[in-house]
């Protein structure tokens, strides 16, 4: 049986076609006559099925055609189209035999809006985040000035990680970088990133987190525009620095993060202080410390000076008084001196050993003794009685 319009080739005994035969033939005719082509129209009656396939119609003022876009094709698109959206569809016309329906199997879909479906998806996710207050500037947390533990959520073999390690090593020796490796692009990358971000809640004593990747195409960077990635960033318990792609690429991840850095290197700079500046600050604190004490002890020294003057005065007065007392005491001592008594005409007798002789019995006849008078000593002998 050929593909031509041999209208009587497959008739039944009654001379009529079966429905199945007709549908099959119609499909063959349509597929042979209309190769895949671009169609322009408006989306209508859009429905995404549980299976992941999309069903909708494309229409203009006077006609419409049913369309299906299978999951294996639509997974590459950032978002489903909305009803009323003007699109270009690249599609293969066919006949769906079960329903006898003419329709398009859509292979690719572009929005005619500026930025296409990507921009539509971006704006849609952004609106959802705004609604939940996740882009509120008041949510932004300050970055810790002297962090120790810094989490880095990125690809383990990208240039971004190398740059971050290099900058942190140069600037801040106290840093401990904890790399949470994850794929950052491709199918399922957003789920991996969300998993990596969720791990952060389990890392103890984390100070700050960096999430990012180097530059890439819009499709490569798209992972960071997924609403669920943005929400996972917002849920991180410590401040997050986002650095996705280059300066000109702004992703939802950047918008939700506490700080947006233009590049991974810039993210590492934002995360860490410069050790030379910190050392300078320490020197300055040292100077203030010394000055503080000097000013303090200067005031104390003044007070001490005054105290010393008072003390010295007190001592001088005391000494003066003591001098009087001493003079009196010296006078009394003087008066008691035995020499003064000898002066008054008394004499002191001592034997050869120096013992003082006070009684008659101590003077046997002929005893030689010495007599001390006021100006010297004379030898004497006790007379015979």
Partner 1 sequence: MARAPEPLSFAAQLERLEAIVRQLEGQDLDLDHALKLFEEGVERLREARDRLTAAEVKVKQVLTDQAGNLKVEDLDR
Least CB distance to partner 1 at residue 279 (A):
6
Coil/strand/helix, residue 223: helix
Which residues in 1-30 contact partner 1 (CB under 8 A)? none
Least CB distance to partner 1 at residue 207 (A):
9
Name the segment binding partner 1 (CB under 8 A); options: 121-129, 280-288, 310-318, 324-332: 280-288
Asked if 174 interacts with partner 1 (CB under 8 A), we say: yes
Tokens encoding 96: 């769906």
Which residues in 260-279 contact partner 1 (CB under 8 A)? 275, 278-279
- Least Cα distance to 160 among 234, 221, 204 occurs for 221
User: H helices within 264-274, ranges in order?
Assistant: 264-271
Asked if 56 interacts with partner 1 (CB under 8 A), we say: no
**Strand 86-96 relative to strand 37-48: parallel, antiparallel, unpaired?**
antiparallel
Which residues in 123-162 contact partner 1 (CB under 8 A)? 144-146, 148, 151, 156
What's the rounded Cα separation, in Å, for the pair 46 and 126?
Answer: 22
**Strand 208-213 relative to strand 149-154: parallel, antiparallel, unpaired?**
parallel
Distances (CA, A) of 212 to 153, 242, 245: 7, 6, 8
Asked if 314 interacts with partner 1 (CB under 8 A), we say: no
Nearer to partner 1, 169 or 377 (CB): 169
Residue that the structure tokens 């401990």 belong to: 176
Nearer to partner 1, 61 or 303 (CB): 303
Task: Collect all residues with Cβ–Cβ distance below 8 Å to 378 and sequence separation of at least 6.
Answer: 370, 371
Q: Is the dihedral of CA 245, 248, 250, 255 positive or negative?
A: positive
Name the segment binding partner 1 (CB under 8 A); options: 28-36, 201-209, 224-232, 325-333: 201-209
Least CB distance to partner 1 at residue 270 (A):
16
The DSSP output letter for 235 is T
Name the segment binding partner 1 (CB under 8 A); options: 116-124, 164-172, 220-228, 351-359: 164-172
Name the segment binding partner 1 (CB under 8 A); options: 72-80, 88-96, 199-207, 315-323: 199-207
Name the segment binding partner 1 (CB under 8 A); options: 23-31, 37-45, 284-292, 305-313: 284-292
Asked if 178 interacts with partner 1 (CB under 8 A), we say: yes
Q: Exactly one of 237, 286, 313, 331 binds partner 1 (CB under 8 A); which one?
A: 286
CB 213, CB 202: distance < 8 Å? no
Task: Collect all residues with Cβ–Cβ distance below 8 Å to 138 and sequence separation of at least 6.
Answer: none
Asked if 228 interacts with partner 1 (CB under 8 A), we say: no
What is the number of other CB atoms lying within 10 angstroms of the CB of residue 296? 10
What's the rounded Cα separation, in Å, for the pair 358 and 369?
Answer: 12
Nearer to partner 1, 294 or 356 (CB): 294
Residues in the site for partner 1, rule: CB under 8 A? Answer: 144-146, 148, 151, 156, 165, 168-169, 172-181, 199, 202-203, 205, 275, 278-279, 282, 285-286, 288-289, 291-293, 295-297, 300
């Amino acid at each position: 049986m050929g593909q031509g319009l041999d209208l009587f080739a497959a008739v039944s005994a009654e001379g009529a076609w079966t429905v199945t035969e007709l549908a099959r033939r119609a499909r063959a005719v349509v597929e042979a006559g209309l190769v895949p082509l671009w169609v322009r129209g408006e989306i209508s009656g859009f429905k995404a099925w549980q299976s992941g396939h999309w069903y909708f119609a494309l229409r203009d003022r006077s006609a419409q055609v049913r369309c299906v876009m299978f999951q294996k094709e639509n997974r590459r698109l950032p978002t489903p189209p909305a009803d009323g959206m003007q699109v270009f569809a690249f599609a293969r016309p066919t006949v769906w035999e079960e329903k006898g329906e003419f329709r398009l199997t859509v292979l690719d879909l572009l929005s005619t809006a500026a930025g296409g479906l990507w921009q539509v998806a971006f704006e849609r996710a952004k609106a959802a985040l705004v609604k939940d207050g996740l882009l509120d500037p008041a949510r932004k947390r300050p970055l810790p000035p002297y962090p120790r533990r810094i989490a880095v959520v990125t690809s383990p073999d990208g240039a971004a990680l190398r740059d971050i390690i290099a900058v942190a090593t140069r600037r801040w020796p106290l840093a401990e970088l904890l790399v949470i490796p994850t794929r950052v692009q491709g199918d399922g990358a957003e789920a991996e990133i969300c998993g990596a971000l969720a791990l952060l809640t389990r890392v103890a004593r984390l100070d700050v987190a960096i999430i990012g990747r180097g530059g890439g195409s819009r499709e490569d960077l798209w992972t960071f525009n997924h609403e669920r990635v943005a929400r996972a960033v917002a849920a991180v318990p410590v401040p997050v620095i986002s650095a996705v792609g280059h300066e000109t690429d702004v992703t939802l991840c950047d918008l939700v993060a506490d700080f947006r850095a233009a590049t991974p290197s810039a993210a590492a700079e934002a995360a860490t202080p410069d050790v030379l500046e910190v050392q300078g600050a320490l020197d300055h604190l040292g100077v203030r410390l010394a000055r503080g004490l000097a000013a303090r002890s200067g005031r104390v020294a003044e007070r001490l000076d005054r105290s010393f003057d008072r003390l010295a005065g007190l001592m001088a007065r005391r000494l003066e008084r003591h001098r009087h007392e001493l003079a009196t005491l010296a006078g009394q001592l003087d008066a008691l001196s035995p020499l003064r008594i000898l002066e008054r005409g008394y004499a002191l007798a001592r034997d050869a050993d120096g013992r003082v002789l006070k009684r008659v019995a101590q003077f046997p006849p002929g005893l030689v003794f010495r007599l001390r008078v006021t100006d010297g000593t004379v030898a004497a002998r006790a007379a015979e009685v």
